[in-house]
Structure 1
């Protein structure tokens, strides 16, 4: 593989994260759709800066190809996103593992995330294969709430 590097996210990454989210294969959100949810470059950057939204990014040859962010206050995995050409290379799993380790170091014993409830969607099998378990709860969008105990 080309030059693949992982690093902690920095506030200046927020704009690239927003652009990348609109280019994902499944569950893509445009900048306008994210803004309608209150997620802007300024809010994302501020969350990284103040520690409320810690994250990690993956870059191939200097291009951001994926990221994973968590909620530093709740232990939620907020987002894991990859460009289509970065899928199937273990990058998503590595980013998720890095975020899980970070939140565990922050003292969380239980992490959670919202995941598609449709088995045809890639994330459905991805998280379950990695040990995340359905709680039986759903969020307002109808997504399954999965949890991972990290004690």
Structure 2
């Protein structure tokens, strides 16, 4: 089946929360997200207000991947790809869409939290795409990576 991409809507929030717990690496349950203050209601409200813009990838009408960023800070908040869709360029494409949107909002520096463990796929994925370590660690114990505009 062919994938299609579209901007995320507030109605996508419950499914995005559910899928977050089904990732192969670093799954986070709906319950754990709620403990962190992230609920379907808060996610939908942040999406509706424009504070949390994002994109979803759909196959056969079902969300199979998504990426969201923080409009105010330039942070890529979350990138999720279901295991059956890994290695197909879906994450790269979604990251590019969110990155371009954050740049349009005026951010020259994008950043995100990533596993510091080189055995995790995300560790190499972001670095391969040009993201560099800041040497900082966020409140979740993730390494902070940044992407600056290309020089030249």
Equivalence map 1:51-130=2 (5 Å): 51-130=50-129
| Counterpart contact for 1:75–1:103, Cα < 8 Å | yes
- Deviation per residue, 1:44-67 (Å, 9 max, x gap): 000100000000000011110000
Matched, 1:147 2:146: yes
CA distance in 1, matches of 2:35, 2:108: 32
Normalised by the length of structure 1, the TM-score is 0.97
Question: Shift of the alpha carbon at 1:139?
Answer: 1.1
| Structure 2 residues without counterparts, runs of 5 or longer | none
CA distance in 2, matches of 1:140, 1:103: 22
CA distance in 2, matches of 1:135, 1:125: 15
CA distance in 1, matches of 2:22, 2:105: 31
The runs of 4+ residues in structure 1 deviating greater than 3 Å are none
Question: Shift of the alpha carbon at 1:24?
Answer: 0.5
- Deviation per residue, 1:16-56 (Å, 9 max, x gap): 10011011101111110100000000000001000000000
Normalised by the length of structure 2, the TM-score is 0.97
> For the aligned residues, what is the CA RMSD?
0.8
Count of residue pairs the alignment pairs up: 150
| Counterpart contact for 1:104–1:150, Cα < 8 Å | no
CA distance in 2, matches of 1:37, 1:29: 11
Matched, 1:7 2:6: yes
| Structure 1 residues without counterparts, runs of 5 or longer | none
Equivalence map 1:18-33=2 (5 Å): 18-33=17-32
| Counterpart contact for 1:108–1:150, Cα < 8 Å | no
SS at match of 1:142: coil
